[in-house]
Structure 1
Amino acid sequence: MKLPFEPVIFGIHINIHLILEYLAFFLAFRYYVYLQKQNLDTIPKINKLSIILGAMIGAFLGSRIFAILENPFMPTNFSSLISFLNSKTIMGGLFGGLLGVEIAKKIIGEKQSSGDLFVFPIILGIFIGRIGCFLSGTNEFTYGKETSFFLGMNLGDGIPRHPIALYELIFLFFLFIFLQKQKTKKLKAGLLFQYFMIAYFTFRLCIEFLKPNVFFICGLSTIQLLCLLCLLYYHKTILILFKNAR
């Protein structure tokens, strides 16, 4: 299959990445609703809605802000302005969503943890979205640097590159299995979500070294700095994990 994958149906070019992105949102939300029905908790329904709203607003703002900071530029025409406004990154969305939830819970006075139910729907959503990124090849900035590594692929520009999106799909598959096993241990509420955030942000911190980023601060990309910020946010849990490992 040639990348980027751009199918034509009835003479219309199909944006496969956009379709899979919307599908990711839809299936992730339906999965969340399903899990919510299977798990009884004592959080009032109105508070749940406030938490979801906080997550959505935080994710929307975070995904846009950090995407712009990842590769900052000033729009010079209408086309570049649209591109500027449509910039988004899942990393900013996750961290922004986390902050949105915490702020919403502070406002409504909800003290119970609500993150665990989001874990597997988020993984499903990212997984489907990354399939779209992979099929988009070099049309999406999820490709890697030029490489002679045996997994290097022609993603659309004739240059063997690290298929970053493919690496992430493999990682997410095993992370899903690992967290499902952790779930059976009846962890403290909220700990499963923390494990997910720590694992995913650590992975992205490392994988970013394989991307051809052009904007750096102290030798690190904006996404890597965001990863470090998130890991700092969960430093207490990380210290406990290291202590238990010892």
Structure 2
Amino acid sequence: MTLPFAPVFLGYQINIHLVLEYLAFFLGFRYYLFLRKKSTDHISGINRLSIILGAILGAFLGSRIMGFLENPVLPDSVESWVAIFNFKTIMGGLFGGLLGVELSKKIIGEKQSSGDLFVFPILLGIFIGRIGCFLSGINEFTYGEKTSFFMGMNLGDGLKRHPLALYELIFVSFLFLFLWKLKDKELKNGMLFRYFMIAYFAFRFCIEFLKPNVFFLFGLSSIQLLCLLCLIYYHKTILSLFKNAS
């Protein structure tokens, strides 16, 4: 198989990344409903719906804003504005979703932590989505710099590059297994989601150094700055982890 992978079905070329992206949303949501049925949810149905709507709106806005900030060039045509609307990134979606949830909870007066139920569905969605990114090769900006590293691959331009989507698939798999074992321990409500966010954003901060970014501020990409913002947001949890480990 060569990358980018573009299968043809009934004479039509399939956008494999788009197909897997929609599949990620569908299976992730179905998995969330499955987990909710098996768990004791202390949040009422109407409040949970409000939280989900807040997460969706925040994720939509966050993903588009950060997608634009990866390479902030002002559009000069209608087509350019449409293209900007299609720019998106999972990092902005996650952090925007977090802010959307927190704002929704303040509006409805919900005090219970709501993130733990989302952890494994989100990880499943990321995993499926990154398969699409990997199969898309250089058609998606998830490829890395040129490298002589043994895992370097030809992603469609004849050069050996870091397959960042593949690295992320490996990381997400281990993170899923680690958090799955951790969930059986007596954790404070909401801690599982915090651990997920800290681990994933720390990983993405590091892996961004292997990405051929073109826009930097203070020597860091916009995604890395967002990662730092998220880690600062959870600084009390991080300090607590270091304190307990010492």
TM-score bracket relative to the smaller structure: over 0.9
Amino acid at match of 1:160: K
The answer for the alignment partner of 1:119 in structure 2 is 119
TM-score (norm 2): 0.99
Instruction: Give the unaligned 5+ runs of structure 1.
Output: none
Residue 82 (structure 1) aligned with residue 82 (structure 2)? yes
Identity across the alignment (%): 74
Poorly superposed stretches of 4+, deviation over 3 Å: none
Q: Distance in 2 between matches of 1:71 and 1:20?
A: 25
SS at match of 1:37: helix
Q: Distance in 2 between matches of 1:114 and 1:84?
A: 32
How far does residue 10 in structure 1 lie from its aligned partner after superposition? 1.5
1:220-231 pair list within 5 angstroms? 220-231=220-231
How far does residue 82 in structure 1 lie from its aligned partner after superposition? 2.0
The answer for the alignment partner of 1:166 in structure 2 is 166
Q: Tell me the matched-pair count.
A: 246
Q: Distance in 2 between matches of 1:240 and 1:135?
A: 39
Instruction: Give the unaligned 5+ runs of structure 2.
Output: none
1:1-246 pair list within 5 angstroms? 1-246=1-246
Q: Distance in 1 between matches of 2:8 and 2:44?
A: 47
How far does residue 176 in structure 1 lie from its aligned partner after superposition? 0.2
How far does residue 79 in structure 1 lie from its aligned partner after superposition? 3.2
Amino acid at match of 1:165: A
1:127-171 deviations in Å (ceiling 9; x for gaps): 000000000000000000000111100000001000000000000
How far does residue 41 in structure 1 lie from its aligned partner after superposition? 2.1
TM-score (norm 1): 0.99
How far does residue 17 in structure 1 lie from its aligned partner after superposition? 0.2
Q: Over aligned residue pairs, what C-alpha RMSD do you find?
A: 0.7
How far does residue 81 in structure 1 lie from its aligned partner after superposition? 2.4
Q: Distance in 1 between matches of 2:76 and 2:141?
A: 21
How far does residue 46 in structure 1 lie from its aligned partner after superposition? 0.6
Q: Distance in 1 between matches of 2:173 and 2:16?
A: 21
Q: Distance in 2 between matches of 1:45 and 1:9?
A: 41
How far does residue 44 in structure 1 lie from its aligned partner after superposition? 1.1
Q: Distance in 1 between matches of 2:100 and 2:84?
A: 23
Q: Distance in 2 between matches of 1:168 and 1:80?
A: 30
How far does residue 43 in structure 1 lie from its aligned partner after superposition? 1.1
Q: Distance in 2 between matches of 1:132 and 1:45?
A: 33
